[in-house]
């Protein structure tokens, strides 16, 4: 882990869950579904209905660190939502939550108690956005409560979606969050998938790694999310709460790539390829270390409810995550609804 930190920090660890290859997409079959959270206000979710029109099979699809305010990254970068719909699964894609880990935060993000301003620019580097107003800064992030209460109830009441035995999966930040949601809300989620997730966030160096990532991905402060080494922090650590997952027999799909680029990662202009590989390799190696640690923890507990996927190729990018979703879908289909 120390080696991975040494490599990753200088090149901008904040691409944890970054949308590495911008291929904007918009599926006209999906629709905006607005739900108001008492803390966060109106939140948009994109919904894509199952091809056969059923309301029993539902999956929540979570984004990465640089989640945007217009569309969920899975819709922007991949055709995975369409594949899920063709498997007769209703797709729920929350929009927003940059750097949130989809957690209930301790306080709105701020530094040194200073008020936020409208000065600064969205340059892609959070160093210019630390003191800017925005989501999770003007108000307190309340994502876990929103996903497991407000959105869940609204989907059931307004669309008739089943409120239990749902699936949830995500990449990087979203992968960690998917496992957390399933652990603490087993009545809602019978299945969770983590692709390149950080599943041992209390390991040495991980908090500072996440601190750097959140500062760069929108200028967020990890101390506002959860104080160090307290109940709220451990609440987010799959390595710590692993016994819950074993006790509830929650079906899990846990994956991380080898950090070796896929041939598709090497396609395109040389500059884009170099950027993709230089950023994606060390981050995936860190995710792999976290995921292997979680695997060892689950094995020590005698877990029999996990499928592990460690493909020979895969870096921290959408090529890896898309391929992993295709591998996971048949197993998830058998364990939801």
Summarised one tens digit per residue, pLDDT across range 138-160 is 999 999 999 999 999 999 999 99
Q: Which of 99, 172, 176, 224 is catalytic?
A: 172
Note if 144 is an active site residue. no
Give the global pTM: 0.89
Q: Hunting for tokens 């040194």 — which residue is that?
A: 112
Distances (CA, A) of 18 to 63, 213, 222: 9, 10, 18
State the pairing for strand pair 90-94/58-62. parallel
Q: Is there a contact between 306 and 137 (Cβ–Cβ < 8 Å)?
A: no
Q: Hunting for tokens 């729920």 — which residue is that?
A: 92
Sorted by where each begins, the domain ranges of the chain are 2-333
**What tens digit of pLDDT does each residue of 182-229 get?**
999 999 999 999 999 999 999 999 999 999 999 989 999 999 999 999
Q: Check residue 128 and give its pLDDT.
A: 67
Q: Which of 316, 322, 323, 324 is catalytic?
A: 316
Q: Which of 19-23, 282-286, 305-309, 329-333 has the lowest mean pLDDT?
A: 19-23
Q: Which of 75, 77, 284, 324 is catalytic?
A: 284
- For domain 2-333, the CATH architecture is 3-Layer(aba) Sandwich (3.40)
Helix (H) or strand (E) holding 209, with range, is helix 206-216
Q: DSSP assignment of 259-309, as one string? A: SSPPGGGG-S-HHHHHHHHHHHHHHHHHHHHHHHHHHHHHHHTT--SEEEE
Note if 316 is an active site residue. yes
Q: Check residue 13 and give its pLDDT.
A: 35
Average pLDDT over residues 319-323: 95
The SS3 call for residue 76 is: helix
């Amino acid at each position: 882990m120390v080696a991975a930190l040494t490599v990753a920090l200088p090149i901008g660890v904040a691409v944890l869950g970054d949308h590495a290859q911008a291929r904007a997409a918009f599926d006209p079959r999906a629709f905006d579904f607005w739900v108001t959270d008492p803390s966060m206000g109106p939140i948009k979710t994109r919904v894509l209905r199952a091809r056969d029109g059923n309301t029993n099979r539902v999956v929540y699809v979570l984004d990465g660190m640089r989640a945007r305010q217009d569309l969920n990254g899975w819709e922007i970068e991949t055709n995975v939502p369409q594949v899920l719909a063709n498997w007769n699964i209703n797709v729920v894609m929350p929009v927003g939550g940059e750097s949130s880990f989809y957690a209930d935060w301790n306080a709105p993000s701020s530094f040194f108690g200073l008020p936020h301003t409208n000065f600064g620019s969205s340059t892609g580097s959070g160093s210019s956005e630390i003191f800017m107003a925005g989501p999770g800064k003007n108000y307190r992030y309340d994502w876990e409560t929103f996903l497991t209460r407000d959105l869940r109830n609204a989907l059931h009441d307004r669309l008739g979606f089943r409120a239990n035995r749902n699936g949830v999966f995500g990449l990087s930040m979203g992968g960690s969050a998917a496992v957390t949601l399933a652990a603490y809300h087993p009545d809602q989620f019978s299945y969770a998938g983590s692709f390149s997730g950080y599943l041992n966030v209390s390991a040495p160096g991980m908090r500072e790694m996440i601190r750097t990532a959140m500062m760069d991905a929108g200028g967020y402060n990890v101390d506002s999310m959860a104080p160090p080494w307290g109940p709220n922090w451990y609440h987010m650590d799959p390595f710590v709460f692993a016994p819950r997952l074993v006790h509830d027999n929650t079906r899990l799909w846990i994956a991380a790539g080898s950090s070796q680029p896929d041939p598709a990662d090497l396609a395109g202009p040389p500059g884009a390829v170099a950027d993709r590989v230089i950023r994606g390799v060390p981050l995936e190696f860190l995710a792999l270390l976290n995921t292997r640690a979680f695997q060892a923890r689950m094995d020590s507990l005698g877990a029999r409810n996990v499928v592990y996927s460690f493909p020979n190729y895969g870096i921290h990018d959408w090529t890896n995550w898309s391929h992993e979703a295709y591998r996971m879908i048949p197993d998830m289909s058998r364990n939801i609804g």
